[in-house]
Amino acid sequence: MSVAERLARIRADIAAEESACGRSGEVRLLAVTKRQPREAVLAAIAAGVADVGENYVQEAVAKYAELPPVRRHFIGHLQTNKAKAVAAAFDVVQSVDRPEAAAALAKAADAIGKRLTVLIQLNISPAERFGVAPADAERLAEAVRSHPALALDGVMALGPVTEDRAEIARAFSLAAMTFGRIGGTTLSIGMSGDWREAVRAGSTMLRIGTALFGPRSA
Ligand SMILES: *Cc1c(COP(=O)(O)O)cnc(C)c1O
């Protein structure tokens, strides 16, 4: 199946899940292109994808050079020593999880005259190393809002790695409640294996890799 065919099928599945919970047209799809070739990125964009995401800035630089107009999202761990490169290569940074990272990113964005849209990364899963605890999210949001070069637009989280669907749903509902307190337009939860639970919890952005592109290269 081609990327375009997979995309059409996923979009139809998302629309059906949305309508099953009384939603309609609220969920965007971010194509996660990590460890996929540039041709896959171009195929997804040609098929209508408007948002693409990468975990490593080094990988994105060549792959995302001179793309048609899309929003490029950084979804990997944000190291302060990579802030300059991240600010230059991306439009949205979804993984701000501590005040130092926000400060480094703001400084880098300022230096190139750019205003970056950012999300706060929440930790809602015991296996996840990164992300701010939901209880500390509002304090981090204040720190982010203190930087004019950053436009806070919501939260991002990775769901727990488990087959227990109820546990996934509980974690996503915690993310949704925290999003409600922070505000913004983007609740980035849900990946290939847990997007249905995410849509039911109120996700406005699904980050889909494998289901769109197939298995990643090693
Ligand atoms: C890899 C990755 C995804 C996509 O995962 P799939 O299971 O392939 O859909 C989404 N978000 C983040 C942060 C990732 O690292």
Residue 100 has pLDDT above 80, yes or no: yes
H, E, C per residue of the chain: CCHHHHHHHHHHHHHHHHHHCCCCCCCEEEEECCCCCHHHHHHHHHCCCCEEEECCHHHHHHHCCCCCCCEEEECCCCCHHHHHHHHHHCCEEEEECCHHHHHHHHHHHHHCCCCEEEEEEECCCCCCCCCECHHHHHHHHHHHHCCCCEEEEEEEECCCCCCCHHHHHHHHHHHHHHHHHHCCCEEECCCCCCHHHHHHHCCCEEEECHHHHCCCCC
pLDDT value at residue 148: 98
Res 107: pLDDT? 98
Per residue in 47-73, pLDDT (tens digit) is 999 999 999 999 999 999 999 999 999
Residue with CA at minimum distance from ligand 1 atom 13: 75
Give the rounded distance of the alpha carbon of 50 from its chain centre: 13
Q: Tell me the per-residue pLDDT of 175-202, one tens digit each, with 9 for 90 and over.
A: 999 999 999 999 999 999 999 999 999 9
Per-residue confidence band for 217, with pLDDT thresholds at 50, 70 and 90: confident
73 lines ligand 1 (CB under 6 A): no
Query: Do residues 208 and 192 lie in contact, with contact meaning Cβ atoms separated by under 8 Å?
Result: yes
Contact 186, 207 (CB under 8 A): no
Q: Is residue 218 pLDDT above 80, yes or no?
A: no
Tell me if 209 CB under 6 Å of ligand 1: yes
Angle of CA points 108, 142, 139, to nearest 5° = 115
Distance CA 78, CA 131 (A): 10
Atom of ligand 1 nearest to the CA of 34: 1
At residue 190, the pLDDT reads 98
Predicted confidence at residue 76, as pLDDT, reads 98
Residues 64 and 54 sit within 8 Å (Cβ to Cβ): yes
Q: Quick one: average pLDDT of 35-50? A: 97
pTM: 0.98
**How many whole angstroms from its chain centre is CA 200?**
17
Predicted pLDDT at 104: 98
pLDDT recorded at residue 153 = 98
Q: What pLDDT is attached to residue 43?
A: 97
CB of 208 within 6 A of ligand 1: the answer is yes
The torsion angles phi and psi of 125, rounded to 5 degrees, stand at -140, 130
Which residue, judged by its Cα, is nearest atom 12 of ligand 1?
A: 75
Look over the chain and give the mean of its residue pLDDT values, rounded to a whole number: 97
What is the distance in A from the centroid of ligand 1 to the CA of 207?
Answer: 6
Q: Is the pLDDT of residue 12 over 90?
A: yes
Contact 173, 147 (CB under 8 A): no
Residue 168 confidence (pLDDT) above 90: yes
pLDDT in tens, 125-145: 999 999 999 999 999 999 999
Nearest to 182 by CA among 146, 217, 115, 136: 136
